[in-house]
């Protein structure tokens, strides 16, 4: 099976702009979660989507939003970019089946966002 894919891999934006990041989960996985990774704050949970519904949200401002499509692909959007939004954004997918690795999250390579 193909792994989690994220596009684009690298992005450079300027303050005030907005950005959309895309994530395609592993085939058959219906849950997608997003995380922000920075040297100062480490890995922080943004939100989780399951069957097109957001069912968990982290402590981020409303500038950060996301959605999930019927094919389980997900996008996240950051509006009015700030310098502090520079980070590696990681997407993870998981199944909701049974078995030892059920609900284990598998990560994509991430999108490196740089805000100038």
Binding region for another protein (CB under 8 A): 4, 6, 31, 33, 35, 42-43, 45, 48, 50, 55-56, 58, 90, 92, 94, 96, 100-101, 103-110
The nearest distance, CB 38 to another protein, in angstroms, is 12
The nearest distance, CB 16 to another protein, in angstroms, is 28
The nearest distance, CB 82 to another protein, in angstroms, is 23
Closer of 81 and 92 to another protein (Cβ): 92
Closer of 16 and 28 to another protein (Cβ): 28
The nearest distance, CB 31 to another protein, in angstroms, is 6
Structure token digits, residue 103: 């609900």
Angle at 68 between CA 58 and CA 29, to 5 degrees: 95
Q: How far is the C-alpha of 54 from the C-alpha of 10, rounded, in Å?
A: 26
What residues contact 33, with CB distance under 8 A and at least 6 apart?
45, 46, 47, 48, 49, 56, 91, 92, 93, 94, 105
Residue 26: closest CA among 44, 45, 6:
6
């Amino acid at each position: 099976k193909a792994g989690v894919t994220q596009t684009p891999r690298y992005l450079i934006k300027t303050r005030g702009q907005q950005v959309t990041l895309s994530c395609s989960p592993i085939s058959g996985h219906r849950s997608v979660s997003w995380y922000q990774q920075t040297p100062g704050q480490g890995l922080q949970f943004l939100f989780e989507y399951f069957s097109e519904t957001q069912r968990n949200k982290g402590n981020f401002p409303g500038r950060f939003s996301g959605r999930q499509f019927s094919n389980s692909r997900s996008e996240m959007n950051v509006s009015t970019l700030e310098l502090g939004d520079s980070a590696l954004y990681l997407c993870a997918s998981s199944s909701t089946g049974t078995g030892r690795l059920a609900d284990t999250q598998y990560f994509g390579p991430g999108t490196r966002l740089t805000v100038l």
